[in-house]
Structure 1
Amino acid sequence: MTLVSNGGRSNAGLPQGSAASVRARAAPMTTCLPYRPESVAAARRFVVAKLLEWGLDDLADDASVIVSELATNSLRTGCRTRMLVGVRRPTERVVRILVGDGSRSLPVMVQAGPGATSGRGLAMVHRLTHGRWGVTLLPFGKVVHADLAVPAPVPR
């Protein structure tokens, strides 16, 4: 069963087939991280390094926030099997950030009150991606994906 919200694509799982339209240097990358708080920073470094390699420096700040929120949510599931972090270029105009874990517990976007100390993460992801994020349920877990638009090149 696949659940996709907010305009995301249903083929958002970590495994990805051949995509001839995506440049070779934009090959997908995935890493497996332990369930420890320091893995959130490792996920940020991993995604930002790939964006810099692809020349997408302008997306690094938003991608850092997104992967931090998704990895933090993954840590909070209580699952200890694995946390996978991936970054893809499904098209030249999209960067997809993925965080997978062994829990089938779905993320929930809540309305955090002014005094709340948590609960704003998915709202930030929603805002930064313009609603292009979603969840793919797997037999033994899930993958949460978030898509960032790649700005069009500026004509010279």
Structure 2
Amino acid sequence: MIDALRDFTSTLPDVLQWVGVIVAAAIPFVESYFGSVIGVLAGINPVVAILAAIVGNVVSMLIFVFSAHGVRSKVRSGKEVKPESPRRAKLRERFDRYGVAGVSLLGQTLLPSQITSAAMVSFGASKNAVILWQVISIIIWGTVFGVLAALGVSVLR
């Protein structure tokens, strides 16, 4: 899939290749870290690739957070809480242990930021805190992977 996204981005006109990176980074599991790599491998300036990947991932994450917040608000109004699935219980346990900052920074190693951010909001975490820490995490992960990709490409030349 990464190769297909890189090829898609490479086939766009030079002026629009950053749009391909934004689209790719908005996809869960691709996110800012693989989005920045896709951009660098497609030949885009690493700074532009990293910024585009961050923008795509942040926009996608915001859509998930605001959707989860809206759904939670409607569901919680006057209804009983039903038992959690085992997977959701495991995610809640990690949330309770590490908090919003920990889950945001480390959660991307297990699940996409879109899923972890929506889950945290559904658990009752502050929407603004989730957004803040997810943006910080997206910037860190996208920058690290983009820089590593740029260094790797420069070594291979």
TM-score (norm 2): 0.25
Query: Given the two structures, how large is their TM-score scaled by the length of structure 1?
Result: 0.25
| Structure with the largest fraction of helix | 2
Query: Whose strand fraction is larger, Structure 1's or Structure 2's?
Result: 1
